């Protein structure tokens, strides 16, 4: 189905998808951090490098969590957008990221650019608010990467495609 026949996804749906994605990424990041802390504690008990509370200051823990989050976020967003056209949050809400010219799915380059342009949208925050503006409802990272987020049509019980929700 061509992008032009699908409605663009608005700000609130995209925000909800983003919150779902962040829950997935934060869960993976926290689980990874707990495993790393467990390994560090085990090493200490085996006579390795001692893990002390002085070495676990809040700034280091926060920096470590940010690094772990980005390590998960980069492949999560890039690979899922490139291979599936959507993250888990977008899949749950029947949204898909496509090339804005209507040519279909994203290229790997667009997925990478979109990920890093996401940082620009975060930094300026107003970049996300652009998704609330009609007619195309494209956020700043969509404009930079040449993408658009569309709503997929619902299917009825027979599998026939209906109208977009």
CA–CA dist 24, 72 (Å, integer): 10
Place of tokens 């997935």: 24
Could you state, in order of their start, the residue ranges of all structural domains in the chain?
3-151
Higher pLDDT, 62 or 21: 21
For the chain, give the percent of residues with pLDDT over 90: 44
Q: What's the confidence (pLDDT) of residue 163?
A: 47
pLDDT of residue 50 exceeding 60, the answer is no
Average pLDDT rounded to a whole number, residues 97-123: 91
For the chain, give the percent of residues with pLDDT over 70: 79
Average pLDDT rounded to a whole number, residues 93-106: 90
pLDDT of residue 147 exceeding 50, the answer is yes
Average pLDDT rounded to a whole number, residues 144-154: 92
Rounded (10°) angle between helices 58-83 and 11-45: 130
**Hey, is 101 helix, strand or coil?**
coil
Q: Residue 104: which region, alpha, beta or left (left: phi > 0; alpha: psi -120 to 50)?
A: left
Q: 50 phi and psi, to 5 degrees?
A: -65, 140
């Amino acid at each position: 189905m061509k992008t032009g026949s699908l409605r663009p996804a608005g700000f609130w749906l995209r925000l909800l998808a983003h919150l779902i994605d962040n829950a997935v990424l934060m869960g993976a990041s926290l689980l990874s951090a707990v495993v790393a802390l467990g390994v560090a504690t085990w090493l200490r008990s085996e006579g390795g490098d001692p893990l002390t509370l002085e070495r676990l200051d809040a700034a280091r823990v926060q920096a470590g969590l940010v690094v772990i989050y980005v390590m998960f976020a980069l492949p999560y967003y890039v690979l899922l957008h490139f291979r599936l056209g959507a993250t888990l949050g977008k899949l749950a809400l029947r949204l898909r990221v496509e090339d804005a010219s209507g040519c279909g799915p994203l290229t790997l380059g667009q997925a990478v650019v979109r990920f890093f342009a996401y940082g620009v949208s975060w930094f300026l925050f107003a970049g996300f608010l652009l998704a609330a503006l009609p007619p195309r409802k494209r956020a700043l990272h969509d404009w930079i990467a040449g993408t658009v987020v569309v709503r997929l049509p619902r299917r009825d019980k027979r599998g026939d495609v209906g109208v977009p929700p």
